[in-house]
Structure 1
Amino acid sequence: MTNLEPVGFAYPDPAAICIDVLAVPEPKTVKNRVHLDLATTSAAHQAEVVARLKELGATPADVGQGEVPWTVLADPEGNEFCVLEPREIYRDTGPIAAVVVDCADPRAMARFWGEAMDWTLHEVTDDHAVLRSAKGVGPYLEFLRTPDVKTVKNRIHLDLRPYPGDDQAAEVARVRALGATDVDLGQGDVSWTVLADPEGNEFCVLAPR
């Protein structure tokens, strides 16, 4: 496993997002239902970021986006992500603008994740929902309505960590009461609990840190 954290990160920090990269035996077979959007500050910055990422091994990806102002790329293992054109809403998010989740019902997903994470709902329609930390900092969590159904385990998922001093078992019970269900991915005896949201997206509740 490789852990990526912002320089000087100290948990909990709502402005930051940490990424763990884990080796798994399953190959990627379908478009990811969860992906990252990267923020840029100008057209020149967007072009610079795209060029730098291509040098690092990213490749153009066609997910049926057509003519759009953002650039869709894939990392060296085919995981799709977007480099967005400058948008005012993402001016203060840091390099990651949003974690984006495909879903069937953005309203229901916003209700579940808003309560699970205690994040603020910024916008919701039948087609998309937007959440952000109640502190008003860091990336957004966005749900986009798509016709595709979930068929395999998500290659990208969220981890929830209780605040220091909180009880992990109580947190697991709380999100189960919101509609989460238990999932067995063959994880065995581990310190975290694997659950799925109402649309089957896997996530983990970690031990407090």
Structure 2
Amino acid sequence: MALRPVHVNLKAVDAEAVGLFWAEALGWTAYRPGATRYVGPAGGLVWPDPVVLGVDVVPVPEPKTAVKNRVHLDLATRSAAHQAELVARLLDRGATHAHVGQGDVPWTVLADPEGNEFCVLEPRETYRDTGPVAVVVVDSEDPRAMARFWGAATDWTAHEVTDERAVFRSAAGVGPYLAFLRTPGGKAAPDRVHLDLLPYPGDDKEAEVSRLRALGATDLDLGQGDRPWTCLTDPEGHEFCVLAPS
């Protein structure tokens, strides 16, 4: 048994506007499957997508605080010109420059119109085939511990595990990477961004949730009530949800 990451869940007060922003950022389409705005490749909504992680923008009443998200997206670019063009276009669409202590680096740190941080990377050979999302980055106090938990929780393959980082990608070698990077300081506030996981067809969701609890996950009450998904936190407090198979 194992779970697969299926999309990045992003909270926003104006889900419509933020969904359109991320569609512009990724070159995808903002769909309306219900109350959320789902951003995925053009050509019709496919979920779960066999390759990419979509972005599911969920409406919430509370605006983002000044606390930096512990989960963010790194966007891939093909060339220096593409990086510059994408940064300029997103600034024109409502992004702002963000300062998270990055110093003098070759990538550009921005925030979407509601303050969710993300990076536009310089061209990197490693990310030539990921699609527009190169990496889902998670701040971590102990990447090795996160590698143990997430390596057991999901069916993604570990590409690197050190004291400084733990990097995963789908076993098929497609789509974005998932990276836990050592970052000083623990979790200080609920995150606006998290991963949603899905069991494979025929697998038992409740059995998967029980397995995650045995690995160190903790139940999380967000006031969700009686919903078909289960909210949990990993051993470092990062929120995630286990969805019910459709």
Alignment TM class, shorter chain as reference: over 0.9
Which residue of 2 is the match for residue 132 of structure 1?
169
TM-score by length of 1: 0.96
Q: Does 1:48 align with 2:110?
A: no
CA distance in 2, matches of 1:167, 1:71: 42
User: Is 1:162 the counterpart of 2:199 in the alignment?
Assistant: yes
Structure (1/2) with the larger strand percentage: 2
Deviation at 1:14, TM superposition (A): 4.0
Q: Judge conservation of contact 1:14–1:133 (CA < 8 Å) in 2.
A: no
Partner Cα separation in structure 1 for residue 87 and residue 213 of structure 2: 40
1:95-140 deviations in Å (ceiling 9; x for gaps) = 0001000010001101111111111111111111110001100000
Q: How many Å apart are 1:12 and its aligned residue?
A: 4.3
| Dislocated runs of 4+, deviation >2 Å | 7-14
Residue matched to 1:2 = 37
C-alpha RMSD of matched pairs (Å): 1.3
TM-score after normalising by structure 2 = 0.82
**What's 1:205 paired with?**
242
Query: Which residue does 2:12 correspond to in 1?
Result: none
- Contact 1:195/1:204 (<8 A) preserved: yes
Deviation at 1:9, TM superposition (A): 5.4
Deviation at 1:54, TM superposition (A): 1.0
**SS in structure 1 of the partner of residue 90 of structure 2:** helix
Matched length:
209
Select the residue among 169, 194, 200 that pairs with 2:231. 194
Report which structure shows greater RCO (CA 8 Å, sep ≥6): 2
Q: Counterpart in 1 of 2:20?
A: none
Unaligned runs of 5+ in 2: 1-35
**Aligned AA for 1:136?**
G
Q: Is residue 95 of structure 2 the alignment partner of residue 58 of structure 1? A: yes
**Distance between the aligned counterparts of 1:38 and 1:206, measured in 2?**
26
Q: Deviations over 1:141-182 (max 9, x none)?
A: 001111122011111011001112222111111211221111
1:116 has 2:159 as partner: no
Report whether the alignment pairs 1:16 with 2:52. Answer: yes
Quickly say closer, same or farther: Cα 1:25–1:9, change in 2 above 3 A: closer
Gaps of 5+ in 1: none
The alpha-carbon deviation at position 25 of structure 1 amounts to 2.5
| C-alpha distance in structure 2 between counterparts of 1:178 and 1:35, whole Å | 24
Deviation larger for 187-196 or 9-18: 9-18
Q: Rate the CA distance shift 1:84–1:19 in 2: closer, same or farther, 3 A.
A: same
Matched, 1:74 2:107: no
Rounded to whole Å, the distance in 1 between the matches of 2:92 and 2:40 is: 22
- Deviation sequence 1:26-82 (CA, Å, 0-9, x none): 332200000000000110111111111111111111111010000000000011000
Does the aligned pair in 2 maintain the 1:12–1:163 contact within 8 Å? no
SS at 1:161's partner residue? Answer: strand
